[in-house]
Chains A and B, each alone.
Chain A
Amino acid sequence: MKRRQFWALVAPSVVVMFGFMLVPLYQTLRWSFESVNYGEAGTFIGLTNYRAALGDARLGRAVLFTVGLTVVASAFCIVFGYVLAALVNKLGRARPLVLGILLISYVSPQVVGAVAFSWLFDSNFGGIVDYLLNAVSGGAFGNPLWFTSTWPNRLIIVANVVWFMLPFAMLMILAGLQGVSEETLEAAEIDGASPLQRHLYVIIPSIRGVLGFVVLILTMDVIRVFDSLIPLAPQSLTNGNESLMVYIYRVAFSEASRNLGLGSAISVLTIILILILLFPSIRNIVKEARA
């Protein structure tokens, strides 16, 4: 390919990347050092926003909650995604239909799914899960307050995130399973490996790259959880279930101060946190690529 052709093909992507990623990133970084009022030029205030962010206990709580949610939900998605993918991989003609059904939660708007999900636990709107847990079990579960108590609320948030992200994990892993050599599997079977051993020692190592990619995407997606928490965690301000993105949104756009500068500083800190969390996955992917 000639240099001119190369740049002609690459230029649109470069322009889009610059416009939609680098400019907002630069603006966020710039505002994080400024005091910003809507519609006015910012005033440079140095590290004041960062000091305010790091001195706010709310940030610590939001980080703990978000990282915890990311670890738990990602682990669930990887484990159950693998199990589901292995099952779907065995299907014949029914596979497209089953896949289609499984993917509905992933392609539906997150906030719509979350509202419907919240109704499962809200007695005002039927609350079928709440009813089954309380009425049928005779209150054995202690009538949990799904939306105000910290841990019951965390349970439904995790469940919703898993419900939403599981199809993606399953689909990626399924694609990986399709690439596992049947000869290798047959050899393992001849060598006397049990089904579990085949999964643990043959299949999983051979799709390690795919699993790393899934972890990467899950981490990025779950750490940015936002809209689903509006219906699912209305009490997040006081019960410790405020995610980083909800915290940033409130600081920058909805609370009294509407502090874009502070919101930007927290956003920059969040980017750093995401990079730290993604470092192992990125390193593994690079290793895989070089191998």
Chain B
Amino acid sequence: MRHMRLPRSQRPVRLMAVGLLAASLALTACGAGSRTGAATATKVACDFTNPSTPTTINVLAYNSSAVDPFSNTMVASCTHDNVTVKHDPIDFAGQLEKTTATLAGDTGTYDVVETYTYAIPDLASRGKLQPLDDLYAKNKDKYALGDLDPNTLKSMTYDGKLYGLPMQSQLLVMAYRKDLFDKNGLTPPTTFEELRTDAKRLQDAEGMKYPIALPLLSTADLDTAFAAALGSQDSAFFVNPDTKKPNFTEEPTAKALEQLKSLLPYMDPQVTTFDQPKVQQQLYNGKAAVAVMFSGRMNDLVQQKNTKLYDKFGFAAPPAVFAGGKAYSTVSTDGWSIPFNTKVDKDLLFEVIGASVSQEASQASVPAAFPARTTVDQSASPYAAATKDSLAKGPTKEIQPYVPAVSEAIRPVLANYMAGKIDVPAAQQQMQAAAEKVMAAQK
């Protein structure tokens, strides 16, 4: 017997409606989840003078296990009386774009922005950030800001003025499989030569195809890796600070390029698609035994919920590219800045960011972060010693307004080089040309 049929004119409509409804119901069964972790964050004193009218403070800060404790503490502690602090989840790339947009005009969307060492000179030189020296002096005692590491304050300073209040620093740190290293009589490599030797040993003895994992994503991380390899040959900068002429045709660039490529036989052939989470994944899965990433990623490795290998990792300063050189490392301090175009009272904003980097807030961020405060007890952090070592052995920083633009300009060239499309001399020429174009635009 045939089933009942609708009149022709109604059937297509009914059909679509039922189909879409069924699909929508299937999808909406999945909950959206919490937007931030502020509900469970550490609460600290945030005693600002209550504004006379309701005030919303919009915070722009990317999400990571190292930054979240500070953002969440800010939201949880400073949302009271007439003040509401808002922070929506966003990734680092999104933060970069929104920073550009919010600082573009006379009015912006955000009242507090997360900034970092390499962004400060560019933003400050263009008048996009509020100098904080007076506010810092005014609140120094109240929030014990004198305990902040002077180096981190220096990292947030441009042309003698403070533009950011440091919360924590990120350094490149090496994570390695201590169990496999011990089993094979290996010690953490101190040079790239040792790194290659150790990797070869792990390939042969453990059958591990790709023992090394580095974040070399061609659209984001590659220039950071190159800068670390260049910096490891100390005093090798992108651009000569005196003549403002790019240095990419010089020998250190050739060596940095060659050394980065020398690791490819020990890395996944698709390593140029690896961002830091993917490198973490390689370590979680036991596919890699050595990785160099920013310190903010290290605490994830020792969490049992992430990997069954959580108790097998050791941490050390990254190796030097050449014996006797500086570590393949870089340091960037994350901090809070106040945009030039915010309409919210600056005193109030500084109190809010001051509270978020207080002693209690900083202590609560351990071991996820490497806080800027010198008074924080980091004995609970499995990687803090390695981070300090990385800081001590790291290269001289090139902190100039043009560095971010030059970094982005050379990235496609580095991607083509790592993909094997161009050789070292061609890469050097193209990087030089790209950087010269940026420097010409800077004038």
Contact = CB atoms under 8 A, between A and B. Distances in A.
B184 interface: no
Most buried by A among B217, B219, B411: B219
B11 interface: yes
B277 to A, nearest CB: 10
Contacts of B8: 178-179
B269 interface: yes
Nearest to B417: A238
Given A99-B18, A107-B24, A125 B273 contact: no
A222 interface: no
Contacts of A101: 22-23, 26
A106 interface: yes
Contacts of B218: 234-235, 237-238
A234 B219 contact: yes
B165 to A, nearest CB: 25
Contacts of B273: 147-148, 234-235
Give the residue among B24, B270, B441 with the most A Cβ atoms within 10 A: B270
B391 interface: no
Contacts of B25: 100
A38 B415 contact: no
Interface in B5-37: 8, 11-12, 15-16, 18-27
B419 A235 contact: yes
Contacts of A104: 23, 26-27
Nearest to B106: A39
A148 B104 contact: no
A238 B101 CA distance: 28
Contacts of A174: 12, 15
B24 to A, nearest CB: 6
A97 B22 contact: yes
Given A237-B412, A256-B409, A124 B282 contact: yes
B408 A148 contact: no
Contact of B408 (A106, A145, A146, A255): A255
Nearest to B222: A237
A100 B269 contact: no
A100 B22 contact: yes
Contacts of A162: none
A192 interface: no
A124 B278 contact: yes
A175 B23 contact: no
A102 to B, nearest CB: 7
A148 B272 contact: yes
A39 B278 CA distance: 36
B67 to A, nearest CB: 21
A148 B3 contact: no
Given A38-B100, A147-B273, A148-B270, A124 B287 contact: yes
A290 interface: no
Contacts of A92: 3
Greatest chain A CB density within 10 A among B23, B96, B100 is at B23
**Interface residues of chain B: helix, strand, loop or mixed (majority):** helix
B414 to A, nearest CB: 10
A124 B268 CA distance: 10
A4 interface: no
Interface in A214-237: 234-235, 237
Of A93, A101, A103, most buried by chain B (CB within 10 Å of CB) is A103
B270 A171 contact: no
A95 interface: yes
A178 B12 contact: yes
B197 interface: no
B27 A124 contact: no
Contacts of A125: 281
A99 B12 contact: no
B16 A124 contact: no
Contact of A99 (B15, B24, B408, B419): B15
A102 B12 contact: no
B279 to A, nearest CB: 9
A101 B441 CA distance: 54
B16 A171 contact: yes
B285 interface: yes
Top 10 closest pairs, chain A to chain B, by CB:
A100-B22, A39-B104, A99-B19, A256-B408, A38-B104, A103-B23, A175-B12, A39-B105, A96-B18, A234-B273
Interface of B: 3, 8, 11-12, 15-16, 18-27, 93, 96-97, 100-101, 103-106, 217-219, 269-270, 272-273, 278, 281-282, 285, 287, 405-409, 411-412, 415-416, 419, 421, 434, 438, 441
28 contacts: A38-B103, A38-B104, A40-B104, A93-B3, A95-B15, A96-B18, A100-B18, A100-B23, A100-B25, A100-B26, A101-B23, A104-B26, A107-B27, A123-B287, A147-B273, A148-B269, A148-B273, A148-B419, A171-B19, A234-B217, A234-B219, A235-B273, A235-B415, A237-B415, A239-B419, A254-B96, A256-B409, A258-B100
